[in-house]
Chain A
């Protein structure tokens, strides 16, 4: 659910104190993301495109020609389903500057049915040249990455979930304890459940830690270097196995990593309609199921 904390308009307003070199393009998220605060002050830098997501993405390149960075907000299913060609041709192929925020991925739009549940989002986006994919684990985490991205050139896609953690986790200091035997890697909405599962496993006496992996693509190998000595790496993602898990498989040197790599995520492509929490549970991705499944892997 969208809470009071989703005042992205207010954040963009604050961001304008640091740089005014961006415009906000929006499709259908004006109310949900509370853009009003931004519009009140910067009406000339806000543009509503209604349902026209493909039109919005392409229009972004026009703003770019005037040296203004477009930040484009839309539902993920529309971006991937309708505007893939636009993202690819107008930005990725030429490594052009755009920040795209895809809202409601995975089970977020569960009630709208299978067409609105994108589990292949990361897998699809990874195919696009030059595109950086960020999967924040909390709202503040998203703000930090978005701000940082505005000062870096190139296309970035943020996968933003409906129900991110409201409280900020100090992830920068979350370094791995050298004596840890087992590690869970996760990102996005499911990070919240994975974290609870890991806490339960710790209570059971397991040597285990959770590491957020919010820079999914391009794969951040330096982040994995610390994990080469652990016995188990479990990837928990509410995507299919073409997401982070596949990147790990492709990038890890198994001559150096002698542990076991496991994947827990979406196993099938057609999922029933339902509330997100119910769908996580039905697909054994709620925190209790994750706790049981990870425990099986560790034992």
Chain B
């Protein structure tokens, strides 16, 4: 898909996500918007006409498929919007996202077609991805495992266990994408617990780190994926700088909206102004 088409796709994903968030009362609109380009690049992007991420709604359980473990709970409606758009389930299901009796749970749920693995606690995601990558490696399979997490997770300890282990096993089939908007639920990361310069930290664990200075620029994201695929003996991390609420004028860059919901009025206002 060309860059212009990716932009159009991201706009459509963004709108569907916003609607799902508003209907459900889900919290985390700013956080979700920050991840739209990353997830769109993964599912729709290609490098020299070869898909970044191999998955198909028409081939469930396909041995050649890649895996995506979403460890950023607030981006769940983005993932569901993408999966609906891809044809894993009907788009009308998004109207019931995170609501009672809906199969679209507020966090990635294995019963949702295209999800595969439940990630109820985002802090577990990298470990879950690690296990999957270890399994594939020991089965001598080439499938890739992508994992998206929020940078604030570096305030918790389990992630460092997983970083160490992945490096120890030279898991070049594991690609960690960090969405770093500088925000977390409680406010700015630096005002809660500063996590420091991630490049050096992750690099010191034996990972190959590529910085994506604009995590909303498709060319830059795809270029980083391209580099990641050429690494042969190390796990790779794409450290993406993003903006909370990106693409939505009313909330873009506004700290308070990172973990906020969306009212009907706000959605109407946004729908008129979003491009």
Give A contacts to B, CB under 8 Å: 23, 44-45, 47, 49-52, 54-66, 68, 70, 85-86, 89-90, 93-94, 96
Interface of B is mostly: helix
> Which residues of B, 93-145, contact A by the 8 Å Cβ criterion?
109-110, 116-118, 120-121, 124-125, 127-136, 138-139, 145
Main secondary structure of the interface of A (DSSP, over half): helix
Query: Which residues on B sit within 8 Å (CB–CB) of A86?
Result: 121, 124, 127
**Do residues B161 and A89 form an inter-chain contact, with CB atoms below 8 A?**
no
Partner of A94, one of B118, B127, B134: B118
Task: State A85–B162 Cα separation when bound (angstroms).
Answer: 16
A66 x B136 contact (CB < 8 A): yes
On whether the beta carbons of B158 and A63 are closer than 8 Å, the reply is no
Pair B133/A62 contact, Cβ less than 8 Å = yes
Which residues of B lie under 8 Å from residue A54 when comparing CB positions?
124, 127, 158, 161
Q: 5 A-B Cβ contacts within 8 A?
A: A55-B127, A61-B131, A62-B129, A65-B135, A86-B121
In the complex where A54-B158, A55-B162, A66-B136 touch, is A60 in contact with B131 (Cβ < 8 A)?
Answer: yes
Q: Select one of A45, A52, A90 contacting B161, CB under 8 A.
A: A52
Nearest opposing residue in chain A for B116, CB measure:
A65
The 8 Å CB contact of B124, one of A58, A63, A68, is A58
Closest residue of chain B to A55 (Cβ to Cβ) is B161
Residue B165 lies at the interface, judged by CB distance under 8 Å to chain A: yes
Which residue of chain A is the closest to B174 with respect to CB atoms? A62
Interface residues of B (CB under 8 A from A): 67, 69, 109-110, 116-118, 120-121, 124-125, 127-136, 138-139, 145, 158, 161-162, 164-165
Cα distance, A93 to B69, chains bound together (Å): 18
A68 to B141, CA, bound (A): 14
Q: Is the CB of B128 within 8 A of A49?
A: no
Closest A residue to B67 by CB, please name it: A65
Cα of A55 to Cα of B121 in the assembled complex, Å: 12
Partner of A58, one of B109, B116, B158, B164: B158
Can you add 4 more A-B contacts, CB < 8 Å, to A47-B134, A65-B116, A89-B120? A57-B127, A59-B128, A85-B121, A90-B124
Cβ contact within 8 Å between B131 and A89: no
B132–A63 contact, CB under 8 A?
Answer: yes
- Contact present for B136 and A49 (CB under 8 Å): no
- Complex CA–CA separation, A93 to B117 (angstroms): 12
Please state if A68 and B135 are interface contacts (CB–CB under 8 Å).
yes
Q: How far is the CA of A70 from the CA of B134 in the complex (A)?
A: 12
The 9 A-B pairs at the shortest CB distance, nearest first, are namely: A62-B131, A59-B131, A62-B132, A52-B161, A58-B127, A55-B161, A58-B124, A89-B120, A66-B135
Residue of A nearest to B107 (CB): A89
Min CB distance B272 to A, Å, is 40
Please tell me which one of the listed residues B109, B110, B130, B161 contacts residue A62 in the complex, with CB atoms under 8 A apart.
Answer: B130
Bound: A45/B253 CA distance, A: 47
Chain A residues within 8 Å of B136, by CB: 66
Q: Is the Cβ of B165 less than 8 Å from the Cβ of A63? A: no
How distant is the Cα of A52 from the Cα of B130 in the complex, in angstroms? 13
**Least CB distance, A293 to chain B, in whole angstroms:** 44
Q: Are B120 and A61 in contact (CB under 8 A)?
A: no
The reply to whether B128 and A90 contact each other, CB–CB distance below 8 Å, is yes
Closest chain A residue to B134, Cβ basis:
A47
Q: Please measure, in the bound complex, the distance between the C-alpha atom of A44 and the C-alpha atom of B120, giving whole angstroms.
A: 29
A62–B135 touching, CB < 8 Å: yes
Q: How far is the CB of B109 from chain A (nearest CB, A)?
A: 8
Given contacts A49-B165, A52-B165, A89-B124, contact A61 B135 (CB under 8 A): no
Interface centre among A23, A57, A59, A66 (most CB of B within 10 A): A59
Asked if A62 and B138 make an inter-chain contact with CB atoms under 8 angstroms apart, the answer reads no
- On whether the beta carbons of A66 and B139 are closer than 8 Å, the reply is yes
**Is there contact, CB below 8 Å, between A55 and B110?**
no
